[in-house]
Structure 1
């Protein structure tokens, strides 16, 4: 599915976040960045057969941004970005030492029941970023969805007062509650122009100094 790494000089919490993601993205790998450039990471991902490169960027000791890059030797490119309010690690949700999923199965992306169109749109975007499979929730249970699509892992987009959250379920571990990590997303941006900002969605006036956050440009150092 994807190669997961960090920006240079990551914090311990960011590395733990990367390892947690390795445990919920099937057939994915967390790789220590070291001094590798973006081009070297892309070639590493390509050589290992991955379709995506995910870079976790740090700010003030915590993961701030998830950058998704398409892996292709001749047509690689930035796909989109998730800006985060915060995360909760698996160990903080009561799960330690989960094994990564080393078999072929889809990452199914769906929503909680009775959510708005913003949540459905983000579920579709998250599936696109991760090469997962979006499945409309309706009234279906997560167990029903997992059985139908022959998977053990489901990412569920849920409501949150400050944006949206992504909650991960590993049904091979427990069917009763999410295992994490829990990711609180405040802004998402796609390179094709699609975007969502929780403050704009709530009609909150954004101060001028905040408007630069979430605006990507070719001059920005994105690694």
Structure 2
């Protein structure tokens, strides 16, 4: 899986992309003049950060092999806004679900979608110091928060809505 942005991302979107690159330990490809078709030739699983009013506003996960995409409207907080420093991960990531969400049937549907499109393509390591934790959020469907041990390190991604498409574009 690779990570990229819209063609001319704002500074905040680039910062968010770098935060995800560091915490998820996946390569960030600067888009520049590359078309989506050229990006799809680099990797068959692409995580694209889209913008809304110069802020990260969408996460789109492309599954080129199956010609599907998952689009989520998001709200974010950057690493520097949460812990004030850059945290690097070279060890894979653990995925945990909060107690409030474990028994929630509606959340289970969202989890299965994210697992198919995103989580299965990450370097999962149950012994990792870095944890991707899915948490309940009162205003949103759910939130994704990153921890190192018990300390929040960010970024925080709040998922507002999810849509599945049977086409790449």
* TM-score where L is the length of structure 2: 0.84
Aligned equivalent of 1:110: 96
Cα gap change, 1:113 to 1:162, in 2 (>3 Å): same
Aligned Cα root-mean-square deviation (Å): 2.3
In structure 1, runs of 5+ residues without a counterpart are 46-50, 134-145, 193-216
Partner SS state of residue 19, structure 2: helix
Cα distance change of structure 1 residues 120 and 176 upon mapping to structure 2, 3 Å threshold: same
Aligned residue number for residue 42 of structure 2? 44
- After alignment, is 117-126 or 62-71 more displaced? 117-126
The structure-2 alpha-carbon separation of the partners of 1:108 and 1:176, relative to structure 1 and needing over 3 Å to count, comes to closer
Distance in 1, Cα, partners of 2:12 & 2:53: 11
Looking at structure 1, the residues matched to 111 and 162 of structure 2 have their Cα atoms a distance apart, in angstroms, of 11
Q: Give yes or no for the alignment of 1:169 onto 2:147.
A: yes
Equivalent residue of 1:92, what SS?
A: helix
1:76 Cα deviation (Å)? 5.4
Tell me which residue corresponds to 2:127.
150
1:57-114 CA distances to partner (integer Å, 9 max, x unpaired)?
111011111110124xxx3523311111x1000010114222242x5x4x44332113
**Is this contact kept in 2: 1:154–1:169, CA < 8 A?**
yes
Q: How does 1:12-161 map to 2 (within 5 A)?
A: 12-26=11-25, 28-45=26-43, 51-71=44-64, 75=65, 77-84=67-74, 86-101=75-90, 103=91, 105=92, 107-115=93-101, 116-132=104-120, 149-161=126-138
TM-score after normalising by structure 1? 0.65
Using CA pairs under 8 Å that are at least 6 residues apart, name the structure with larger relative contact order, 1 or 2.
2
Higher strand share: 2
1:18, 1:56 within 8 Å by CA — same for their partners in 2? Answer: yes
Residue segments in structure 2 that go unaligned for 5+ positions in a row: none
State the distance in 1 between where 2:130 and 2:113 align.
18
Larger radius of gyration: 1
